[in-house]
Structure 1
């Protein structure tokens, strides 16, 4: 039982229960003294409608005098707990928790929207309790656009961790500013003598991937280098055949795979092939390589997401911020051993 296209109000609950809006307010605030008596069956009817619609999943939760619970929700599109120190999401959660504690808010992790039959988690389903929180931080490598559109249409305060395109309206977010950092890496490689470069990864399927590929394209165009884009599965064979000396890799795991494949073929990193990572470690791996690349400001993004959500709750608006990525020196970028020959126009120029 929902009202499509917008957020439910007390007036909606009153109509569904066949009572006045004042009665709904009294039930929500557990009022029922000598001056205002509510029949038990009326109270139960209101509570039943509340439970069925999800207007307030816990009908006995009292709101504070300022109209807020001081509870911030965290919805994750992928399972993130337990989060080890090497887990991709751990720094985000550390930043979120630190800032929530500083501003005096509790965190509520939404876990009931479980995945089933291979379908990713969704915010809204028959068990959704997202309205228990004053607002919500969204965390995931990609976020469902239908969820974003509904959050916007129902005016539920939220901030996404990661840049998001409009979803029927502008989306509040804090993200990593990938393009300038990737351009700087390309310029650094070219300055060392690399002329044939490759981008390994999807470059699509999420705003962060598209941003990294865009930065690579811009760097190639600005430096006049020759740039290729390749899927990870065929990377090493194609790289060598194309004379590529520096490869920019979207996913950290693919950096590891390319480095291991290069070693198996007797190639040295970075002497024969420089490898630059544009991602972060997502799970523990056993490899003794300090990759050159980017440091994504994950902890800072978590903190800033909570700060922005507090601003939205206080004064509204649709804040959008990108935080700079730092360059990680690492040990996998060096001048090429031989001067590469550049022929033809770059496919990515």
Structure 2
């Protein structure tokens, strides 16, 4: 029997060891109901026994060819992501998608013909070309639940880049594990002596927002202030924090944290001596700052890469888990220290 540690087995090897034809091995591997029914149970069991004993794994590209797939991966974005610079929020996602697609031998197809309705793109429209692709990745902070539900109902293979839970059924996704990352940075601030802390950001409207607020509440409790940031300047937010004598603020959107830092500098408020500022992720809107913010980064490149791997597994029928959360990258930064007097 070939040494599986040093030799990559082929279907021809399996056929020789099982004393059957290579066609029989292919039919068993791909569970072809039309033809495999004509394979005697004893023969089928013998092939499966050899596969188990040798640890053989079918080549993904070969499986795709047998399944008559187009080897095209669709990418649908609910927000504009092209052109994308290296500093753009979506760039790492797309880099991870491209890297994995190239490794698996996929072509990428960006769906750009979707019309904008009520300010939002819709994947379903009269000229949609979803069926050209074998499956599709969905990118966007706000993905309509009705479209997710329809994709599930129509059994169209897709994976959401980001956790989704509003489709009335399980959505396959690869997301960031925001809640524990947020809880950890809050606990870190508490260990330094911070007791008057606050959350700044929407905290709702998208799963990523809700997850951050949930992680904050797990450590800070229900009574810690939650300050909205929508249509609010950095100066206005700073005023609210100072009025409530907050010593550490956890900001959902890094852009809002940068605006808060600028307002603090203009007012002569020392960060972090007077106010510690912790960023819960990366900027989804343009924001430039040389300050190394304490907090965490979203594993965007890894999310894009793992989303392609999950979609391949869904298409191949080998997916054991369809919902993955990846850990965020904690960063020490320079904007968190003990409050004065501690």
What is the aligned partner in structure 1 of residue 323 from structure 2?
A: 320
Tell me how large the CA RMSD over aligned residues is.
1.7
State the Cα distance separating 1:81 from its structure 2 match: 0.7
Query: 1:112-131 residue pairs with structure 2 within 5 A?
Result: 112-115=113-116, 118-131=118-131
What is the CA–CA distance in structure 2 between the aligned matches of 1:265 and 1:249, rounded to whole Å?
19
Q: Which residue of 1 aligns with 2:271?
A: 269
Deviations 1:301-349 (A, max 9, x none): 000000000000011666001000121111100111135xxxxxxxxxx
Shift of 1:287: 2.1
**Partner residue in 2 for 1:197:** 197
Scaled by the length of structure 1, what TM-score is found? Answer: 0.75
* TM value normalised by structure 2: 0.77
1:195/1:226 contact within 8 Å kept: no
Relative to 1, partners in 2 of residues 1:95 and 1:122: Cα closer, same or farther, differing over 3 Å?
A: same
Q: 251-260 or 284-293: which moved more? A: 284-293
* Counterpart contact for 2:164–2:171, Cα < 8 Å: yes
| Match among 291, 294, 297 for residue 292 of structure 1 | 294
Instruction: Specify the alignment match of 1:60 in structure 2.
Output: none
**Whole-Å Cα distance in 2 between the matches of residues 172 and 149 of structure 1?**
12
- Between 230-239 and 326-335, the greater mean CA deviation after superposition: 230-239
CA distance in 2, matches of 1:191, 1:65: 57
Moved over 4 A (4+): none
| Cα distance in structure 2, aligned partners of 1:292 and 1:305 | 28
The answer to whether 1:188 aligns with 2:191 is no
Aligned to 1:140: 140
Distance 1:166 1:316, change over 3 A: farther
Quote the Cα distance in structure 2 between the aligned partners of 1:71 and 1:302.
16
Pairwise CA distance, 1:168: 2.4
Matched, 1:229 2:232: no
Residue aligning to 2:262: 260
User: What's 2:107 paired with?
Assistant: 106
- Of 312-321 and 257-266, more deviation after overlay is shown by 312-321
Map of 1:241 onto structure 2: 243
Change (3 A) 1:337 1:236: same
Q: Structure 2: which 5+ runs fail to align? A: 1-63
2 CA distance for matches of 1:264 and 1:119? 36
1:93 aligns with 2:90: no
Determine if contact 1:86/1:283 at 8 Å carries over to the other structure: no
Distance 2:312 2:66 in 1: 17
What is aligned with 2:341?
338
- 1:82 match: 83
2:41 maps to which residue? none
State the shift of 1:219 in Å.
Answer: 1.1
Residue 208 of structure 1 aligns with which residue? 208
Q: CA deviation at 1:205?
A: 0.4
Deviations 1:153-192 (A, max 9, x none): 1100000000000412110001000111101000100111
Matches within 5 A, 1:8-23: none
Instruction: Please say if residues 177 and 327 of structure 2, whose CA atoms lie closer than 8 Å, have aligned partners that are also in contact.
Output: yes
| Structure 1 unaligned regions, length at least 5 | 1-62, 340-349
Superposition deviation, residue 264 in structure 1: 1.4
Cα deviation, 1:252-282, whole Å, max 9, x if unaligned, reads 1100111111111110111111000012023
Name the counterpart of 1:303: 305
Superimposed CA distance per residue, residues 14-52 of structure 1 (whole angstroms, 9 cap, x where no aligned partner):
xxxxxxxxxxxxxxxxxxxxxxxxxxxxxxxxxxxxxxx
| 8 Å Cα contact 1:180-1:215 kept in structure 2 | yes
